Amino acid sequence: MQDTWNWPLVDPLPSYGRGRELPGRRYVSFIQGDGISDVIITGENGTIDGQGDVWWNMWRQRSLHFTRPNLLEFKNSRDVIISNVVFQNSPFWNIHPVYCSNVVIRYVTVLAPYDSPNTDGIDPDSSSNVCIEDAHIATGDDLVAIKSGWDEYGIAYGRPSSGITIRRLQGSSPFSGIAIGSETSGGVENVLVENINLYNTGFGIHIKTNAGRGGYIRNVTVVNVSMNKVRKGIRIAGDVGDHPDEYFNRYAMPTVDGVTIKNVRGVDIQQRIDRRHQELALYSTYACPMSSSGVL
């Protein structure tokens, strides 16, 4: 994936309105599927290597012309199984099911250097009935980030992420272990996160959005999480992320409602809970008394 000059381009996702990093089109993902069904990607832990260091250096040098490619993206697809494969060194996000339904991702390993930019592990995006289980992820950005479109484009497209299950996942990241957002303009609902083991991580559980996003985050349950050496255990923030252009509606306020977080344990946690929601209509209730060592 290092021939950047001849890498094909595709149109931006309609729920994003432009490339996520730069205006205009975006580089096509290494593995790309659109409008397909009954798909299985599996192997005996064979490796798909995105050789992302060339792309990361272009990002650092600000010499990119378009948004970097994902390692794998399925769009408008259903009945997808991804299992027993190692994904590593993606130029950008690793696994990105967008506008999909009935997706199972299990027994995968996702790897990228700790300092690699924007190498999210798995990002279900405007998708329904997604199960992520029994995975090990260690990357330079969020291990799992649930998304649903970006500002006015995501609001107009109006496709939520719903019915998302994440369980028996372990990993490490300088950013978030389990994240919702920040692009949640189409809405996120009915999320179950359970039996998670995080270590050497920036934020354990991170719900993040911003003024202008609109949309909602609701009916989220997080249970049985273990954290070790985490900077901030739980963070709910309404001031995270940039905007696609100047046309976003700064009065489109997101709402967060019905978040339950329980049975969380942490050792060596620098800050237990960080609540930054001055730009957020927050109706959540969550009870998680937290110590730097013991039960959160």
From the list 120, 123, 125, 141, the catalytic residue is 141
Q: Tell me if residue 125 is catalytic.
A: no
Query: For strand 293-295 and strand 255-276, is the pairing parallel, antiparallel, or unpaired?
Result: antiparallel
| Catalytic residue set | 141
